[in-house]
């Protein structure tokens, strides 16, 4: 029997799933719950068959409708497995069996919900085990309790999905940790409207986002680092200490950028590793790194800085968020930012930062800069 490969983290499962989908001529998926991004996650699959638990309340009906347009989808109540089987010309060649559903959080793609998320899976390549899994799926696909997805099933699923979301919202309302609005309500509403109506990259600054996104950690030069520092100085005028990073050897600079841009690891783990590394990049703390990563991934990586602390304090949520930023503090900020995103009905975590920016600017009498028609948009 061939040994199995252990996938101990959501990001490892996500990577192996991508490889399986891209290299298989046919794919069978038996996964209980589908998040709204499931169609995008499976877009590389060829000749796909999928069975899910549609009326669970945890499967997105919109995802199922989108998948129905491109593949065969059936549903079975109580189907709680998480199995993906990839086939080659001679039959099943690889399978992933584990705990993760097809959702951003389960596969480590959600910056917030993936924090503290424990998932595990194994890659199976043993011919006998693969044959058994293939037979299991065939029985599931043809079981009398496995049904085609029709309008009635989708209506039932929609009701279950909405009911579950309503219950979660009501629970949050009853919870003592329910997030209030910021103290200056008029200013908050202005900041919220600005963040909602302004394209995210334009609100951040197109040049900084474009430049940070182009940096190759393996080949970054001191000239590029110097330009990056110039963009950072626009956000953090008192940035003198960060400029000492230019005195570091290129090997140190590149090593730190490689560690911090390794998206196979959760961002909190990357920050913790970098902050404790003996050859860390001097001058680059959590605020600076989180800003650089924000520019590289505007939707999912809001920076942690003094503005964040101001807002957390006004909300009465500054406990555990010491002003001396750390990887742990950043993890707590991500959790709070996700609560704020939902409370404020914002599309991404990046928009939360823009509300924080606009509100704190307003507190000092500065209003968010207007975005002219000539500004690039996202």
256-264 LR contacts (CB < 8 Å, sep 24+): 256/280, 256/281, 256/284, 257/215, 257/217, 257/220, 257/281, 258/217, 258/218, 260/217, 260/289, 260/292, 260/293, 261/217, 261/293, 261/296, 263/11, 264/11, 264/12, 264/15
Count CB-CB contacts under 10 A for residue 312. 22
- At residue 177, does pLDDT exceed 50? no
Of residues 2 and 316, which shows the higher confidence score? Answer: 316
Confidence of residue 229 (pLDDT cuts 50, 70, 90): very high
Q: Is the pLDDT of residue 215 over 50?
A: yes
- Which residue has tokens 């963040």? 195
When mean pLDDT is compared across 209-213, 310-314, 364-368, the lowest value belongs to 364-368
Computed on alpha carbons and rounded to an integer, the radius of gyration of the chain in Å comes to: 23
Does residue 359 contact residue 182 with C-beta atoms inside 8 Å? yes
Sheet holding 26-31, edge to edge: 5-7, 121-124, 91-98, 82-88, 26-31, 48-52, 72-75, 147-148
What's the pLDDT at 261?
Answer: 95
Which pLDDT score, from 0 to 100, does residue 30 have? 98
Superfamily for domain range 5-166 = Endonuclease Chain A (3.30.870.10)
Would you state the pLDDT for residue 325?
Answer: 80
Coil, strand or helix: which one is 16?
Answer: helix
* Each residue's pLDDT tens digit, 238-268: 878 899 999 999 999 999 999 999 988 889 9
The residues with which 321 forms a beta bridge, in sequence order, are none
Q: Rounded CA gap, 243 and 264, in Å? A: 29
Report, as an integer, the average pLDDT of 344-359.
Answer: 93
Average pLDDT, the chain: 88
- What is the pLDDT, as a whole number, of residue 117? 63
Quote the pLDDT of residue 181.
Answer: 64
Kindly report the CA angle at 198 between 327 and 318, in degrees rounded to 5?
Answer: 30
Residue 231 confidence (pLDDT) above 80: yes
SS3 of 290, please?
helix
In b/e form, how buried is each residue of 236-264, taking b as 16+ CB within 10 angstroms? beeeeebeebeebeeebbbbbbebbbebe
Task: Supply the pLDDT for residue 110.
Answer: 63
146 touches 36 (CB < 8 A) = no
Give the least confident one: 2-16, 160-174, 186-200. 160-174
| Share above pLDDT 90 across residues of the chain, in percent, rounded to a whole number | 68
Gap between the Cα atoms of 104 and 36, Å rounded:
9
pLDDT at position 141 is: 98
Does 319 or 9 have the greater pLDDT score? Answer: 9
Length of the chain: 378
Please state the rounded mean pLDDT for residues 96-124: 80
Dist CA 362 CA 355 (whole Å)? 10
Residues facing 121 on adjacent strands: 7, 98
Q: Pairing relation of β-strands 82-88 and 26-31?
A: antiparallel
CA distances from 181 to 152, 312, 344 (A): 40, 11, 9
Output the pLDDT for position 132: 97
Element (H, E) at 52: strand 48-52
pLDDT in tens, 75-95: 999 999 999 999 999 999 999
CA distances from 212 to 190, 231, 344, 354 (A): 29, 9, 28, 18
pLDDT of residue 248: 95
Is the pLDDT at 171 greater than 90, yes or no? no
Band of pLDDT at residue 180, cut at 50, 70 and 90: low
Which one of 63-67, 235-239, 335-339 scores highest in mean pLDDT? 63-67
Asked whether 291 and 235 are in contact (CB, 8 A), the reply is yes
pLDDT of 295 reads 97
C-alpha closest to that of 81 among 67, 99, 63, 94? 99
pLDDT tens digits for 316-341? 877 656 567 888 899 989 989 998 99
Domain locations in the chain? 5-166, 185-363
């Amino acid at each position: 029997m061939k040994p199995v490969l252990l996938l101990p983290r959501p990001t490892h499962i996500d990577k192996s799933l991508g490889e399986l989908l891209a290299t298989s001529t046919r794919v069978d998926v038996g996964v209980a719950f589908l998040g709204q991004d499931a169609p995008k996650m499976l877009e590389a699959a060829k000749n796909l068959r999928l069975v899910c638990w549609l009326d669970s309340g945890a499967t997105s009906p919109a995802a199922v409708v989108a998948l129905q347009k491109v593949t065969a989808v059936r549903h079975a109540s109580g189907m709680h497995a998480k199995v993906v089987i990839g086939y080659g010309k001679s039959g099943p060649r690889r399978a992933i069996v584990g705990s993760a559903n097809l959702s951003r959080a389960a596969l480590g793609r959600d910056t917030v919900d993936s924090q503290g998320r424990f998932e595990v899976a194994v890659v199976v390549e043993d011919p006998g085990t693969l044959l058994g899994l293939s037979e299991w799926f065939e029985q599931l696909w043809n079981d009398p309790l496995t049904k085609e997805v029709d309008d009635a099933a989708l209506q039932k699923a929609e009701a279950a999905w909405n009911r579950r979301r309503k219950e979660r919202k009501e629970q949050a309302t009853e919870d003592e940790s329910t997030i209030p609005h910021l103290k200056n309500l008029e200013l908050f509403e202005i900041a919220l409207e600005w963040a909602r109506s302004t394209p995210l990259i334009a609100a951040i600054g197109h040049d900084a986002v474009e430049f940070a996104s182009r940096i190759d950690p393996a080949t970054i030069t001191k000239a590029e680092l110097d330009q990056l520092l110039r963009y950072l100085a626009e956000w953090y005028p008192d940035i003198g200490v960060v400029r000492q990073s230019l005195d570091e050897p290129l090997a140190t600079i590149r090593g730190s950028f490689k560690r911090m841009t390794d998206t196979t690891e959760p961002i909190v783990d990357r920050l913790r590793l970098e902050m404790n590394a003996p050859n860390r990049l001097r001058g680059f703390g959590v605020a600076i790194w989180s800003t650089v990563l924000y520019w590289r991934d505007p939707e999912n990586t809001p920076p942690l800085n003094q503005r964040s602390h101001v807002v957390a304090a006004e909300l009465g949520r500054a406990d555990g968020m010491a002003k001396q930023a750390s990887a742990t503090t950043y993890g707590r900020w991500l959790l709070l930012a996700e609560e704020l995103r939902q409370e404020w009905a914002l599309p991404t975590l990046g928009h939360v930062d823009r509300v924080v920016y606009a509100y704190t600017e307003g507190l000092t009498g500065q209003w968010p800069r207007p975005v002219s028609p000539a500004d690039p948009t996202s």
